[in-house]
Structure 1
């Protein structure tokens, strides 16, 4: 029995060895899970964020470009700090920031990277990069922020910022993750899908101290990022700069359009702000400061502010009356000031004279004929029917709803219907005397400045328009422009009716806007003074030029500046000269506008 012990021991050792060798073979050859686990510990997955598309003006001048910045990322599992005081000094943060950010990162994921310090500038990165080797679990991710060579067109271009939790929940594309940047306003938001590009991924080997040891498997699994598409906008940067200089210190809007295409040449919302202030690490602080200002510089007035159009709406009334056959060029009414107030001019006047002199009593009487055409013996019912027919005409001019401009948050203004007055006064309890203020563009009628500019384009084109838009091409290719901006919209008024109206608009400048007159360029325009119950009236002017071959249509709205023939008409005339001649010769008028003493 004793002689068999060595054999038993040898067999036992052999069996154990065989089991261990088999297990080792399975681990090393058949089962790669341990290999993958080890690789995960030594491999860092780094998202390669693409450069966002650039934005150019209509002449190829750069409006928006990218500036590199750096985010310091943290992997909680690997992160170690021995000397906290030194760490805080190096990275310029507080102990509270360190604790809060680390805990938030751990809550998100113990092994995945989170942002530790956002948007580090190039200079700051150069200062701290040599210290990163001393802190395992920290690494740099390169991103970019927007920069603007000229601080103009902030509202049109928009800005980008970190995506919110609510936006992430609504994102059905799966493209975004926490910490990504996204277009939040203007063109940046509207053309987000085109400008954002496509992310790439790089895998790199790191040692236990987080030191980069080169690409994993020679970059076999890496994917390159794809830069976003460049946007060629319709903005004329020089015209935009000039208009913003004129509007400095004022409140209001300027929108200029190329009539034949609907391309927006200039879009100004005043007061404005430097778009460079909403970039980089100070975004949150700057946004909060701008948002608290009573002047509301972040409010995009050209597409969001609604005002009574005032006397510029008399042109629309004239065209509807002509198309309906209610008015003719010879239709004459007395300037009866017992109906509504008016300024001094010859009386009676025909339609041409009514436009030239902006006669309020004329349109009071003309609008009555448009509305009350005796289609019903019941006066109340007759007014209801007439108002709704009139409203259908007005809405064809792009009023009463959004135009569809390529910017988010556009408002549509309001053209009241019979149902509106039914709700307010009761069914069958209102008639023409209730709504006559609509005749001169007041009352419940509201439009946006971009709609005003579109009206000017309609008058220039003799009855059609293209939806106003800021896009001219994508990556230089005009065929990529969305089809809705290439579709012609007819307003339902015969072209020949515009001949007399255009001639009257040219003569109107001699009556109400002599400051806007130019010797060698014939401008067709219409002033307006919109009533303001809270202070001084608003100054309104729309125009197009040259009259016989229009290249620019413009609307100017200056709040609390009084008569349209002063502030708004002067500013529009200067911008027309700047665009058509590339320079301005009327220095006295320019000085008058810049000083802004319109009520003197």
Structure 2
């Protein structure tokens, strides 16, 4: 028998060789994963950061634009230093910072670029660019920071900063990477997805010394960045600038709204800060300095500060009473000061006179009628039922919860409920005499300045409002703004009841806020004094004008400034004149407000 073992061995060797050749062919020709792994050591991916969208005011004036800055990047594998002292001098970096940044870059990746020094200005970049060729593994990427041609609107516009680790963890879009900038407050935060744009990427070849050898594969994998969308805000730059001048050195808020649309014309939180301070390389240092000030300039008072509405709330009480048929224009009460304190005015008064003279005893008695309607023989239960029904009607005026404007952090104030009083006093242990301070806008009532401005818009519109907002158009298209800002909200009071209210508010100006009178412009307004247990009361005023065709509604709070007819009414009147006339003719009143001496 012929021995077949040599043939079998040859066949086995042939098969093994074929398998090895096939595998080698697959690795070298068909599978390019190893090639790509090798290329990663010679190819750098550079992110092309897009320009953020610009922000304009309602008249097309530029509010926010971009300023180019530069980040110095390092690839640890390619970076080496022979003369550290010279490097530190050229690149203006501390030795400790260099060591810390380089070590962080090594831990992140030996072959991928990381930031060595960030936010280098154009001037400083010009000084170092000729030295980059001397340091393999270093290169520059360009991005931008925000700049402001007028240092106004800081709280409304907001600011951007480096994304935090926590925010990175919450990012489900996988858009952001460590070191990216993101909107942190104001419009910058709320409209981040519109403003940020789309990142691009460029791939370039480098040799073993890190020297640029041109685009990788002729740039076929490169993608261009897409700049963010431009936003037209509702703000009026001139009005905002004028209002901030009036509020300089004061603490408080101004919110002005176009009643027919809900567009915010001006939004001022005083004290304010220069938005240019929270840009560039000094962001961290300046933020800490601002945040440590006792005046709290970073606190956004229009949407976060809460105060009692004071006498302005009497208008809401009047409208609810009229709608429910509990009050009528001829309803008359005596100014009985044994019930609650009041100032001198004729007595008794009807509803018109109560608004004009801001009569506290009138609303004490009117509110009792609303709350105690004798639907229960138990006085305590009757008050509970009445308060619950009343609270539902008040909330329709946009009170007691956030309005939903385009800004994060908005608070909703507080309208006390029966459950609240049960918790404080015990169930069945409180009645009207416990809560009567609500009748005149005091006690447990809390509102924000934004809500007060919205009330002024409701009074101007005779019973409806649009959610206040800061966006007017996206890339010039007004139809691109969120649909919720075009939704009309009715407060549940017939328009006919507002005629008396508007007439009384126009007349009240001559009684409690004579300084606010403007020649040839009929103003309708209401003063208020928000009680402050920690010092002087807060001056409050709301108004709209012109009375018969309102174009502006406004609320002003000036803290620790006393009676509303002085600081708040004067400030509001000047801003209304500025907006409607384009100039202010009452220089004496302007000087009075700028001086700020309201307590005498």
TM range (shorter): over 0.9
Residues 359-384 of structure 1 show CA distances to partners (whole Å, capped at 9, x for unaligned) of: 01111111111111111110000000
Could you tell me which runs of 5 or more consecutive residues in structure 2 were left unpaired when the two chains were aligned.
1-17
CA–CA distance in structure 1, aligned partners of residues 232 and 262 of structure 2: 15
Matches within 5 A, 1:216-231: 216-231=216-231
Distance 1:331 1:87, change over 3 A: same
1:72 is matched with 72
Does residue 314 in structure 1 map to residue 314 in structure 2?
yes
Distance 1:373 1:125, change over 3 A: same
Moved more, 573-582 or 96-105: 96-105
Does residue 269 in structure 1 map to residue 269 in structure 2?
yes
Once superposed, what is the RMSD of the aligned Cα atoms? Answer: 1.7
Distance 1:438 1:33, change over 3 A: closer
Residues 484-528 of structure 1 show CA distances to partners (whole Å, capped at 9, x for unaligned) of: 100000000010000000000000001100000011000000000
1:463 is matched with 463
Distance 1:214 1:432, change over 3 A: same
Does residue 440 in structure 1 map to residue 446 in structure 2?
no
Moved more, 237-246 or 334-343: 334-343
Q: Is the 8 A contact 1:527 1:565 kept in 2?
A: yes
Residues 31-50 of structure 1 show CA distances to partners (whole Å, capped at 9, x for unaligned) of: 64553344222211001111
Residues 377-423 of structure 1 show CA distances to partners (whole Å, capped at 9, x for unaligned) of: 10000000000111001000000000000000000000001000000
Give, in angstroms, the shift of residue 222 of structure 1. Answer: 0.6
CA–CA distance in structure 2, aligned partners of residues 466 and 153 of structure 1: 22
CA–CA distance in structure 1, aligned partners of residues 96 and 222 of structure 2: 37
1:215 is matched with 215
CA–CA distance in structure 1, aligned partners of residues 175 and 264 of structure 2: 31
CA–CA distance in structure 2, aligned partners of residues 528 and 596 of structure 1: 18
2:12 is matched with none
Distance 1:31 1:418, change over 3 A: closer
1:15 is matched with none
1:519 is matched with 519
Distance 1:430 1:70, change over 3 A: same
1:143 is matched with 143
CA–CA distance in structure 1, aligned partners of residues 99 and 565 of structure 2: 62
Give, in angstroms, the shift of residue 94 of structure 1. Answer: 1.5
2:550 is matched with 550
Does residue 302 in structure 1 map to residue 302 in structure 2?
yes
CA–CA distance in structure 2, aligned partners of residues 555 and 20 of structure 1: 83
Distance 1:100 1:374, change over 3 A: same
The TM-score normalised by the length of structure 2 is 0.95
1:7 is matched with none
CA–CA distance in structure 2, aligned partners of residues 418 and 552 of structure 1: 36
Matches within 5 A, 1:154-193: 154-193=154-193
CA–CA distance in structure 2, aligned partners of residues 544 and 31 of structure 1: 73
Matches within 5 A, 1:430-579: 430-579=430-579
2:93 is matched with 93
Residues 173-196 of structure 1 show CA distances to partners (whole Å, capped at 9, x for unaligned) of: 110010000000000000001110
Give, in angstroms, the shift of residue 91 of structure 1. Answer: 1.0
Distance 1:85 1:324, change over 3 A: same
Give, in angstroms, the shift of residue 217 of structure 1. Answer: 1.6
Instruction: Name the count of aligned residue pairs.
Output: 584
SS in 2 for 1:286: helix
Q: Is the 8 A contact 1:373 1:382 kept in 2?
A: yes
CA–CA distance in structure 2, aligned partners of residues 412 and 255 of structure 1: 16
CA–CA distance in structure 2, aligned partners of residues 364 and 496 of structure 1: 24
1:341 is matched with 341
CA–CA distance in structure 1, aligned partners of residues 443 and 124 of structure 2: 57
Matches within 5 A, 1:279-298: 279-298=279-298
CA–CA distance in structure 2, aligned partners of residues 514 and 58 of structure 1: 32
Does residue 107 in structure 1 map to residue 96 in structure 2?
no
CA–CA distance in structure 2, aligned partners of residues 82 and 555 of structure 1: 65
Matches within 5 A, 1:296-445: 296-445=296-445
Give, in angstroms, the shift of residue 165 of structure 1. Answer: 0.3
CA–CA distance in structure 2, aligned partners of residues 377 and 97 of structure 1: 77
CA–CA distance in structure 1, aligned partners of residues 20 and 413 of structure 2: 81
1:11 is matched with none
Distance 1:33 1:400, change over 3 A: closer
CA–CA distance in structure 2, aligned partners of residues 164 and 444 of structure 1: 38
CA–CA distance in structure 2, aligned partners of residues 402 and 28 of structure 1: 64
Distance 1:352 1:87, change over 3 A: same
CA–CA distance in structure 2, aligned partners of residues 23 and 447 of structure 1: 75
Give, in angstroms, the shift of residue 211 of structure 1. Answer: 2.1
CA–CA distance in structure 1, aligned partners of residues 490 and 595 of structure 2: 41
CA–CA distance in structure 1, aligned partners of residues 514 and 572 of structure 2: 12
Q: Is the 8 A contact 1:133 1:209 kept in 2?
A: no
Could you tell me which runs of 5 or more consecutive residues in structure 1 were left unpaired when the two chains were aligned.
1-17
CA–CA distance in structure 1, aligned partners of residues 194 and 182 of structure 2: 12
SS in 1 for 2:316: helix
SS in 2 for 1:77: helix
